[in-house]
Structure 1
Amino acid sequence: MGKQRVLTGITTTGTPHLGNYVGAIRPSIEASRSDSVESFFFLADYHALIKAQDPALVRQSSKEIAATWLALGLDTDKALFYRQSDIPEITELTWVLCCNAAKGLMNRAHAYKAAVQANVDAGEDPDFAVTMGLFAYPVLMAADILMFNAERIPVGRDQIQHVEMARDIGQRFNHNVAELFVLPEAVVSDDVAVLQGLDGRKMSKSYNNTIPLFLPEKQLKKAINKIKTNLLEPGEPKDPDDSTVFQVWAAFADESETARMRAEFDNGIAWGEAKKQLFEL
């Protein structure tokens, strides 16, 4: 049985944070070490232009993300790691696929429909501030996938539709032009770890509540001290399963250290002490 080809895109619109590491980087790198898969990872800098109009920021983010994945153990002898914009054939294929993709299919894309609805609700023209980048985004994603005949595409639930659209576009091309493309399958894991941010919500650049990876020591300590906690006093038992401090601890500690900290919470460890130990972990 041959290896399965797995493709993962990484949008270059910010600095990697702890939530990225726990939810995506660590499991992806571990999966890439399997002898049963052929892994492709790419920096989606063309996709980034939909949200980030400053080329300097996209370039900086590309460097930070590439350095992060390599520093955290991505083995480029076992996985192909590339920048989207370095492969001109991807944009060439995007145009070819645009000439085969149905506009009605693009009209049904969740991101485009959400933007139109937001404009209607605000009393604006339905397509106010909607760029062709946003509208045609699914075709570029289809080109990313079909270019390498990727079979499995790990995505979040909000991206399933785009993989299905890539499949539809590839199938249409195979029927109308030539049987060239493998039809991809979305792979959604229900076990993806979601790390809470400084305010208790999901850690996300959108919420401005992240703890960036590789912070200098003083800035890391300051960020940890900003983690939101409740008003329970030292000596009062605390629920570890309702604590961002404990959740971050458990994401990086081994089993014995996690069990020890759970006991500390039951015994009423002070929040300041818990944060101090998290910083020193």
Structure 2
Amino acid sequence: MSEHTKTRVLTGITTTGTPHLGNYVGAIKPAIEASQDSNVQSFYFLADYHALIKCQNPKRVQESRLESAATWLALGLDTDNAIFYRQSDILEIPELTWMLSCVCAKGLMNRAHAYKAAVAENEAAENQDADKGITMGLFGYPVLMAADILMFNANKVPVGRDQIQHIEMARDIAGRFNHLYKGQYFTLPEAVVDEKVEVLAGLDGRKMSKSYNNTIPLFVPEKKLQKLVRKIKTNSLEPGEPKDPDSCTLFQIYSAFATAEETAAMRTDYVNGIGWGVAKDRVFEYLNEHLREPRERYNSLLEDPAHIENVLHKGAERARAEAATTMEHLRATVGLGRFV
């Protein structure tokens, strides 16, 4: 099967923080399994242009890009089959973003959730300017996301529920371009939401998120991992008292990594009144064992940034071979082609 007849799946990897257990269970693990499917042409990219919208700390952006790349490689991303690259290495992406901006209705961007939330915050704070502190990056980033997707004519884009709107916007922009320039230049992408993917709870019982500062980073050293697992919030039930596994963050984290049999055994132990100290030790030991080898690979990769650079360079070469051809065609389409 040729690369162009395979289903194309595209996944963006955020580069604004250190990957944590919630990222692994919710996005990284299923995506890495998908990268090994030879019937699919997968594109995985570090969304580092997007990072600039939220973070103006160059050191943090640089660190996060390296940590994110090392994480995915340490966990087994198949870079022979999948195309793995940095967004900022594909110089055609900002060019396509501008072309799409020129056909995208401003009213469509006005309806973007992130923009509306920022305006609502200003209104709640009674700022005279509803757009106070809102950059063009925040306002227009659905167009950049559309360019990421449409550049490679992705058929499917795995996203969380909060991102479905952006895929719909990409479809809208693609349809508008196709209509204006009278051709099928872009495939209309589909959002793929995996309802089975768990949203892990964090240390305090709320969704594990950098913004709540309640995360367990994937590759913290052993002692730090033990400390964080011990901080997971539990109730005051004594050893011997039956406990409800379904309302327990500790059980949820364990079952996200354990086999069905191991999860069933832990469920029985909860009903039989396992003590919280024993449960936390068991969860720590299980996680530590599960993450030991990837943690070693991750630390080795961080010590060898030249290897990561080489992998990303090869991925960018594969991606740009296609992007350059696409853009040459699109330039001619809009009237920016060569004279001879």
1:247 pairs with 252, 263, 278, which one?
252
Residue 131 (structure 2) aligns with: 127
Which amino acid counterpart does residue 205 of structure 1 have in structure 2? K
Residue 112 (structure 2) aligns with: 109
Secondary structure class of the residue paired with 1:43: strand
Aligned length: 281
Q: 2: CA distance between counterparts of 1:179 and 1:243?
A: 50
Which amino acid counterpart does residue 220 of structure 2 have in structure 1? L
Secondary structure class of the residue paired with 1:123: coil
Q: Displaced runs of 4+ in structure 1, greater than 6 A?
A: none
Residue 204 (structure 1) aligns with: 209
Deviations 1:111-143 (Å, cap 9, x if unpaired)? 111111211121111000000000011110111
Q: Which has the higher helix share?
A: 2
Shift of 1:36: 2.6
1:141 pairs with 115, 134, 145, which one?
145
Trace 1:24-35 onto structure 2 (pairs within 5 A).
24-35=27-38
1:156 pairs with 155, 160, 178, which one?
160
Q: 2: CA distance between counterparts of 1:242 and 1:104?
A: 42
Q: 1: CA distance between counterparts of 2:161 and 2:272?
A: 39
Residue 60 (structure 1) aligns with: 63
Residue 263 (structure 2) aligns with: 258
Shift of 1:171: 1.4
Deviations 1:13-46 (Å, cap 9, x if unpaired)? 1000001111111111112222331100100011
2:79 pairs with 76, 81, 84, which one?
76
Decide which moves more: 260-269 or 216-225.
260-269
Which amino acid counterpart does residue 122 of structure 1 have in structure 2? A
Q: 2: CA distance between counterparts of 1:255 and 1:101?
A: 47
Which amino acid counterpart does residue 47 of structure 2 have in structure 1? A
Q: 2: CA distance between counterparts of 1:48 and 1:268?
A: 45
Which amino acid counterpart does residue 209 of structure 1 have in structure 2? N
Q: 1: CA distance between counterparts of 2:201 and 2:121?
A: 27
Residue 98 (structure 2) aligns with: 95
Structure with larger RCO (C-alpha < 8 A, sep 6+): 2
Which amino acid counterpart does residue 118 of structure 2 have in structure 1? A
Shift of 1:173: 1.3
Shift of 1:255: 2.4
Q: 1: CA distance between counterparts of 2:171 and 2:282?
A: 48
Secondary structure class of the residue paired with 1:186: strand
Q: 1: CA distance between counterparts of 2:191 and 2:11?
A: 11
Residue 172 (structure 1) aligns with: 176
Residue 43 (structure 1) aligns with: 46
Deviations 1:185-243 (Å, cap 9, x if unpaired)? 11112111111110111111111111000110110010000000000011111111111
Q: 2: CA distance between counterparts of 1:140 and 1:77?
A: 27
- Cα-Cα RMSD: 1.2
Q: 2: CA distance between counterparts of 1:197 and 1:27?
A: 20
Q: 2: CA distance between counterparts of 1:194 and 1:111?
A: 20
- 5+ residue gaps, structure 2: 287-340
Q: 2: CA distance between counterparts of 1:135 and 1:4?
A: 31
**Identical counterparts, % of pairs:** 71
Q: 1: CA distance between counterparts of 2:260 and 2:180?
A: 55
Q: 1: CA distance between counterparts of 2:140 and 2:241?
A: 55
